Every structure is written in structure tokens, then in C-alpha cells.
Amino acid sequence: MEKSTLKPAISLLTILTLLLLMPSVLATSFSSVSEPLQEHDSETEPIVTITISAAGDVTLGGCPASNSYRVFMNEFEANGNDHTFLFRNVRHIFLKDDLTIVNLEGTLTNETRHRGKSFNFRAPPHFAMSLSSSGIDIVSLANNHSGDFFDIGYDETIESLDSEGIASFGNKRNTILEVNGKKIGFFGFLTWADSRENRNNITAAIEDLKDRGADLIIAYFHWGIEKDYRPNSTQRNLGRLAIDNGADLVLGAHPHVIQGIEVYNGKNIVYSLANFSFGGNRRPFDMDSFIFQQTFTFENGVLLETNETSIIPIRTTSAITYNNYQPTPVYGRDAERISALIERLSGELNRGNARNDDAEQSNDSSESN
């Protein structure tokens, strides 16, 4: 799957130049026949890079039983019913990468029957165009709102996404996309507890993707505690379990706020990407967010142990005092503040890892004496 494909054309001038040079090329070739020919490895593959952008919770529409749905639709209408409005300020970022992934926390359905919950999120199916027009390629449906309108709403959501060329995964639906000639596998689960069932689901999903030939595996979990800036033990245990079993990147959502990024065995666990375009709340108490980017490099078909990442600080609105659902990059003091928060929260996680590593090395040294 590629966002753009360029096919170089051979001009007439190039062909004429080659014909004119052919005699000298042939002479050179015949004059050096006594020299040994350099052997080339026909199996050598070119270096392949894949840049992935990941963002957090996207809730289109809102809860029809509350004011949030009406306010969202009014904002959409005020902007000319233009589906490019929501992600207009980040579209240029998503179009430059090789693949963009978000958590679609809600449904795209006309179904009105819903579960007996306080909040049930939906938008009309045509809002899938808001994703496809913005360079978003794949969404996770592994969250606590994708089933708000029962199976009919869940299935219609997938159909709506499919109609716009948006892939999806989650809840034991593992997906593989081909990007730049490499197979990228995706899986995700709603994981409130560090249970045997969740652990078995994770290991089974990774094995399934490996068996299907995935060159790179990405997990997207829905976990943690709302408004908590630090991951709990369930998040840390299951995130590490995924890495230990073969995941190359772990992403997370649900807390609605930023949590830190742990580097575990050379791979990243992005515990919470926070809200991104969140129709569930007109005035969320925290409108800070970020886009996480990572570039993976393959050489001779092997994924290199590099860790090339970048952070793009975001506010979930382009308005000053309220949420207009339009995530927007920030600069200056706001960018410094969000970057400092991520650095501080990540530092807490990774300093703990460093202390554990030092303790293990100390134990190894004492055992060898």
C-alpha cells in the first residue's frame, strides 16, 4: 500500500544519448575482457524505509442522547459540510508519511438502537470520508465504543470504512497491509486487566501475523485509567508482553491524556496518544496531544535495530477557548510545554528501566564472582 507511486519516464533524448554512446561502451567492454568481472549478489535487496504516523482517539459525531452530537454536527455544518475540515491542519503530515493510524473510538452507522450506557458514540457513515480525505490509512476498532450500537453498528462501521479504502483491525480481527513492499501486521485489544485471557489473545494475534508473513507488527491497545498521566501495571505488563513476543511497536489510547513513551528492549511502547479529534466532549479539560512518528528501516530484508522517532506536538482544537474537533500542530511555548511533558513522563519510565538494568548487571556480576 503506497500513498503515492512515481513512475519515471524515459525521454527520447535519453534514448538518443545511449545510442550515441553505445560504440564507446562496447569498446570499453571488449578491451577489458581479460579483467575479472565483479560478482553481484542477485539476492541483495535495496534499503526500504517505512514512516508511520500514529495519533490517538478520534470520535466523530458524538452521543446522540446528549448535547455533544448536536454541537459536533453544527460545527460540521458551519464549515460547509466539508469533510476535509476536521483534519485539514494535519493532512500535510499524514500525506508525507507511508502510513497513518488512529483509534476510531465510536461508530459510523445509522443504527439508533444502542447499549444501556451513559455515552454511545456514532456519526453517519459518510464521515468515513473525513478519514480518507486526510491521509488516514487504517484505524483500530479495539475500544469500548466500537460496539455501542451492537453488531449492526459495528459491521456498518467496517463497511463504511471499506467503502472509503480505510483498513481496520481489532477485537481478534488482525490485518496486514503491504507498504513499500513490506507486510505490516496490526492487532489490538481492549485490555482493562492483566488477565490470562488478554495475554493469550495477544500472543495468539502475534503468532497469527507471523504465520501470515508480517515483516513488522504493530499493536494498538485500549487500556489505562482516564485522566491518569502515568500507565498502570496492566499497561506496562501487557505492553512488554507484546514486545517480548514479537511486536515492533505498541500504541495505546483511552486515558484521554498524554502518557509517556517507554523504550523497552529497543522498541517503543507509546502508552497513551491522548485525544486527537474528540467529538465526545465540547470542552475536555486537557486539549494537549501529539502525533508519534517512527521510521523503520529494512536492509537486505532484515528490520534494523534503529529507533528513529519524532514527536509533533498538537492541540486537539484550532479554536482558543473551545474544542472545534480540528487537531492542529502548535509551535513556540505550547510546543515546548507539550514536548517537555512527554520528555518528563517518558524519563520517569525509562529511568526505572535503567535502574532495573543496573540491578540485573550487579546481580550477574555477583553471581560470577
Does residue 135 lie within any of the structural domains?
Answer: yes
User: Buried (b) or exposed (e) across 219-243, using 16+ Cβ within 10 A?
Assistant: bbbbbbbeebbbbbebbbebbbbbb
Q: How many domains does the chain have?
A: 1
pLDDT of residue 154: 98
Q: Which of 10-19, 100-109, 339-348 has the lowest mean pLDDT?
A: 10-19
Does residue 267 lie within any of the structural domains?
Answer: yes
Does residue 129 lie within any of the structural domains?
Answer: yes
Q: Parallel, antiparallel, or unpaired for β 167-169 and 138-140?
A: parallel
Domain that holds residue 141: 51-353
pLDDT of residue 12: 34
pLDDT above 80 for 22: no
Does residue 279 lie within any of the structural domains?
Answer: yes
pLDDT of residue 283: 87
Residues in the chain: 369
pLDDT of residue 244: 98
- Are 325 and 61 spatial neighbours (Cβ–Cβ below 8 Å)? no
Does residue 368 lie within any of the structural domains?
Answer: no
pLDDT digits (tens, 9 = 90+) for 310-339: 999 999 999 998 999 999 999 999 999 999
Does residue 23 lie within any of the structural domains?
Answer: no
Q: How far apart are CA 219 and CA 223, in angstroms?
A: 12
Does residue 30 lie within any of the structural domains?
Answer: no
Q: How far apart are CA 277 and CA 209, in angstroms?
A: 30
pLDDT of residue 354: 59
Q: How far apart are CA 259 and CA 272, in angstroms?
A: 5
Q: Any idea what the CATH number is for the domain that residue 271 is in?
A: 3.60.21.10
H-assigned helices in the chain: 12-31, 67-78, 91-96, 128-132, 150-163, 196-211, 233-244, 332-368
360 Cβ neighbours under 8 A, 6+ residues apart = none
Q: Could you tell me which of 52, 40, 86, 116 has the C-alpha nearest to residue 273? A: 52
Does residue 31 lie within any of the structural domains?
Answer: no
pLDDT digits (tens, 9 = 90+) for 62-117: 999 988 899 999 999 999 999 999 999 999 999 999 999 999 999 999 999 999 99
- Using the structure block, give the residue that is written with the C-alpha cell 476498532: 141
pLDDT digits (tens, 9 = 90+) for 144-182: 999 999 999 999 999 999 999 999 999 999 999 999 999
pLDDT digits (tens, 9 = 90+) for 199-251: 999 999 999 999 999 999 999 999 999 999 999 999 999 999 999 999 999 99
Q: What is the mean pLDDT of residues 259-263?
A: 98
Query: 3-state DSSP call for residue 107?
Result: strand
- Are 231 and 272 spatial neighbours (Cβ–Cβ below 8 Å)? yes
Orientation angle between helical segments 196-211 and 233-244, nearest 10 degrees: 30
